[in-house]
């Protein structure tokens, strides 16, 4: 069943590539931005993904720098999860990732503060 998550991800990327987020409303809006008027850590990620899929790295970086920088790490994490986690069991996978979650949450909070105060 390793192929199902990859297939779903590729289908989602195909939809994002074909239908620009700026032109189609079915993607929805950011609740955090609607309520506060501030950008959350994920704001610009969808448009950035569209830009990346069309080879525009500079635009993607302007839309959400943290996202663009984290892509290699996300790909690596996906590869590790699909390749080794099933063999070692869910408990090993969960235990080894708990400390990483605190780092990720800290980076997300820091990025949200930085992009709304300094940028």
Integer-rounded Cα Rg, in Å, for the chain is: 16
Q: Is the confidence at residue 91, as pLDDT, over 60?
A: no
pLDDT band at 78 (very low <50, low <70, confident <90, very high): confident
Q: Give the domain extent around 67.
A: 3-117
Q: What is the mean pLDDT of residues 98-117?
A: 87
Torsion of CA 70, 76, 78, 81, to 10 degrees: -130
Provide the domain count of the chain: 1
Tell me which residue of 71, 67, 47, 69 sits closest to 59, measured CA to CA: 47
What pLDDT score was predicted for residue 89? 56
- pTM for this predicted structure: 0.77
The span from the CA of 66 to the CA of 68, in Å, is: 6
């Amino acid at each position: 069943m390793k192929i199902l998550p990859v297939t779903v991800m590729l289908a989602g990327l195909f939809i994002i590539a074909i239908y620009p987020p700026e032109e189609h409303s079915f993607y929805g809006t950011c609740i955090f931005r609607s309520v506060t008027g501030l950008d959350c850590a994920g704001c610009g990620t969808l448009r950035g993904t569209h830009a990346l899929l069309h080879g525009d790295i500079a635009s993607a970086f302007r839309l959400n720098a943290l996202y663009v920088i984290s892509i290699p790490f996300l790909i690596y994490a996906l590869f590790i999860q699909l390749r080794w986690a099933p063999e070692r069991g869910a408990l090993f996978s969960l235990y080894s990732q708990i400390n990483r979650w605190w780092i990720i949450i800290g980076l997300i909070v820091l990025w949200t503060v930085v992009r709304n105060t300094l940028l």
